[in-house]
Amino acid sequence: MFVPATSFTASVCGGVFTHFKREEDASMTRGKLDEELSRISEIADTITPGCLLLCNESFASTNEREGSEIARQVITAMIEARVKVVFVTHLFDLADSVYRQRLETALFLRAEREPDGRRTFHVVPGEPLPTSYGEDSYRRIFGLPSVAAGTALVAGDTAEALD
């Protein structure tokens, strides 16, 4: 599997499950949040201890408070079921609340920035910040100075070291 790093070490897992953001249901039979909840329910019915769940911007289809609460419950349930979770999010409420728990098994990563805001394209350990790349891009396009970052949360039985 391709890994954009000098090296990568991970334990063997029983299965890899993904929950990534999708486009709106073209048939309009249900909304985005309903579709996301349906997919995570299917995963929860199938996933077993020792598996890996990869989430990218899950539950961002609703407001930050509700999306964060849903994600917290999913993460907690998966960790209790001994599932490793990698959760990429810009939901600061979610990332910050999990960070404040100081879980030994959690690793928080974010995109590194130079003091002047330039991107290094490195992912480094760091606490969540209440900002996102959307604002950074807006400021860059319209000529305003900015520094911003997103957060990736890695949690489970063990947080693997990433280079």
Give the confidence band of 30 by pLDDT, cuts at 50, 70, 90: confident
Q: What values do phi and psi take at 44, rounded to 5?
A: -60, -35
User: What is the second-level CATH architecture of the domain 16-155?
Assistant: 3-Layer(aba) Sandwich (3.40)
- pLDDT given at position 1: 57
Least confident of 2-11, 58-67, 141-150: 141-150
- pLDDT 10s digits, 35-53: 999 999 999 999 999 999 9
Residue 10 carries which DSSP code?
Answer: -
Phi-psi category of 74—alpha, beta or left, where left has phi over 0 and alpha has psi -120 to 50? alpha
- pLDDT 10s digits, 11-20: 899 999 999 9
Residue type, 145: P
- pLDDT 10s digits, 87-130: 999 899 999 999 999 988 899 998 888 877 778 888 899 999 88
Q: The whole model's pTM is what? A: 0.76
- pLDDT given at position 162: 42
Residue type, 34: D
User: Any bridge partners for residue 111, and if so which?
Assistant: 123
**Closest to 107 (Cα-Cα) out of 65, 44, 57, 157:** 157
16-20/52-56 β-pairing: parallel
